[in-house]
Structure 1
Amino acid sequence: MQINRRTLLKSGTAALGATALPGWAHAQMTLGNVQIDTLSDGNLVLPREFQFGDLPQDEVTEILARYGITGDEMTPDCNVTLMRDGTNTVLFDVGAGPNFMPSAGTLWEALDELGVYPEDVTHVVFTHAHPDHLWGLLDDFDDLVFPEAQYMIGRAERDYWLDPATPDTIGEARLAFAAGAIRYLGAIEDRLTTFEDGEEILPGIAARATFGHTPGHMAFELRGGSESVMVLGDCIGNAHVAFERPGWVSGSDQDQEMGAATRVALLDQLANDQMPFIGFHMPYPGIGRAEKSGDSYRFVAA
């Protein structure tokens, strides 16, 4: 496997001159004849308690301090994966777009600098339907950003977000997530197809059920020749607490116990197989491996 890193920083103004765009970056790896790029969609700004509020705070503080993280604010990176095999140009998630957080939504500029036009994207595959993965689907005029693409999502994920009961049961803190999912998934209803766990959804792309963060969250194993890499989405949500204490629950997971069980099993597999992965919220560019030490793990950046 060859990994080449190229970092480009671009500054400018957002649509209508609202805010300055954060820097974006691009990293590249190859699997045989398959080219994979990770593109920065910026970062989120979240209160620490969103992920870690129900955990032993002294231990959380100690872990975060080892990674240079202090204070009550978290700023996780957002890394979108692009795969090109000579036939298909596939995006895994579409970022946050212009309407979620001002610190996110830079994917479109990153693609432009890479020389990939929206019309070039043949498929968009969603890990799940949270705003920072879905809301980049539409522009400021509610037009599809990727007009030629086919859209794909796990059946359980689609069914959950389009269930009329979901807004009444998801809880007030995530009510906007439900409303957004209805809006954005509704915009592609006539071109949205679903798949199941274990299915090869496109040549060289296999779906892997990683439920818990959302009810139908999917990861994807990308294969080129004899090599493979896992696109994780948010089933492993950070490079510190999730690795050192994988069995702890995370407040960002909708089903916290299931999310923890998924994380423990997946980290064990990734470490044992030494399979590289791309984490949506890992430190940019999100590419690395898991190294096991006792009951804990360590994120080893590529």
Structure 2
Amino acid sequence: MTLSRRTFLQGAAALPVLGAMPRLATANMALGSATLTTVSDGSLMLPGSFIFDPMPKDELAPILAQYGQDSERLTPECNLALYRDGTNTVLFDVGSGPDFMPTAGTIVDSLDAIGLAPEDITHVLFTHAHPDHIWGLLDDFDEPLFYEASYMMGRAEWDYWWNPETVNTIGDARAAFAVGAKRRMEAIEEAVMLFDDDDEVLPGIAALSTPGHTPGHMAFEVRQGTEAALIVGDAIGNHHVAFAKPGWESGSDQDGITAAATRQMLLDRLSQEQMALVGFHLPDGGMGRAEKEGSAYRFVSA
């Protein structure tokens, strides 16, 4: 099956609206005197082919069975990381907003549940510009929702989506992604701050280039003294196949070969250093650790 925009949208629309009322529970960890929390933006409804199409079906089936994962339907959580150090209140990505999927776009309610309003966010750092990460940028009046925040994005990611040729080269399935990203980026064009790999973008937060899912995808290492966590965005996109077979190409990645190499690098590092990780689409709030099991890995929730 070749994924087109039509098959993607038809597949998602055919799925039952399961869990339309989002789980607002959060996951938390302390990093020195700072705190790292995840806040829910709801969940997605995706056809299994969106990820599984390029994978060998005979080897895939037992892995999905092991994890109780349906091959036809994916309903991943959307977990936005929130970092508070007493000075800055930093949100990583902004979620889907109201225009992507009916089960997503709940970030304002989730923030309210922990006593925060959009104006309390001092900085927004983007991992990348796919719809479930940037379409929540604008409010009902097409103004930035987090209006007191400074916006920051990796230079390579900004340049990719800003390029007028991207909509023509990204493929039919993702053409709307490009249009939607550009419209939202135009709203912050005059104010956005760009950064590069290995830059310390804020005190205690360093950028790490993790390309493949998108050309300029960024992860972030958050560190206070000897305590650290890695916010991986969609560079590790699920808790099953991504850990069991990190070298397999995934249909969700724009460059499957590069994404697989990035995923392997991240899992090697995370398991060796036993560093906490936060994944946008990982379960139970997205926080946990990667444990090595032979040539594979396993996600252990926090």
TM-score clears 0.5: yes
Correspondence for 1:189: 189
Correspondence for 1:211: 211
Do the aligned partners of 1:94 and 1:124 also contact (CA within 8 Å) in 2? yes
DSSP 3-state at the match of 1:81: strand
Correspondence for 1:101: 101
2-structure distance, mates of 1:301, 1:28: 12
DSSP 3-state at the match of 1:190: coil
| Aligned-pair CA distance for 1:20 | 6.1
Amino acid in the other structure paired with 1:163:
N
Correspondence for 1:116: 116
What do the CA deviations read for 1:232-260 (whole angstroms, capped 9, x no partner)?
A: 00001000101010000011110110000
2-structure distance, mates of 1:134, 1:298: 29
Structure 1-normalised TM-score?
0.92
DSSP 3-state at the match of 1:243: helix
2-structure distance, mates of 1:277, 1:198: 18
What do the CA deviations read for 1:177-230 (whole angstroms, capped 9, x no partner)?
A: 000111011111111110000000000000000000000000000011210000
1:40-59 paired onto structure 2 within 5 Å: 40-59=40-59
Do the aligned partners of 1:98 and 1:140 also contact (CA within 8 Å) in 2? no
Correspondence for 1:92: 92
What do the CA deviations read for 1:70-125 (whole angstroms, capped 9, x no partner)?
A: 24111111100000101111000011111100011111101011111111111000
Root mean square deviation, CA, Å = 1.2
Given the superposition, is the C-alpha separation of residues 247 and 71 from structure 1 closer, same or farther in structure 2, using an over 3 Å criterion? closer
Do the aligned partners of 2:20 and 2:103 also contact (CA within 8 Å) in 1? no
Identity of aligned pairs, percent?
60
Correspondence for 1:75: 75
1:122-141 paired onto structure 2 within 5 Å: 122-141=122-141
Amino acid in the other structure paired with 2:295:
D
DSSP 3-state at the match of 1:82: strand
Structure 2 residue runs without a partner (length 5+): 1-18
Correspondence for 1:284: 284
1-structure distance, mates of 2:168, 2:283: 35
Amino acid in the other structure paired with 1:225:
G
DSSP 3-state at the match of 1:228: strand
Correspondence for 2:168: 168
Correspondence for 1:157: 157
Amino acid in the other structure paired with 2:232:
L
Structure 1 residue runs without a partner (length 5+): 1-18
2-structure distance, mates of 1:181, 1:284: 28
1:242-261 paired onto structure 2 within 5 Å: 242-261=242-261
1-structure distance, mates of 2:57, 2:139: 40
2-structure distance, mates of 1:293, 1:107: 35
DSSP 3-state at the match of 1:191: coil
DSSP 3-state at the match of 1:86: coil
Runs of 4+ in structure 1 off by over 2 angstroms are: 19-23
Amino acid in the other structure paired with 1:151:
Y
Structure 2-normalised TM-score?
0.92
1-structure distance, mates of 2:212, 2:279: 16
Correspondence for 2:271: 271
Correspondence for 2:223: 223
1-structure distance, mates of 2:79, 2:161: 23
DSSP 3-state at the match of 1:189: coil
What do the CA deviations read for 1:9-51 (whole angstroms, capped 9, x no partner)?
A: xxxxxxxxxx964332212211011111101111111111111
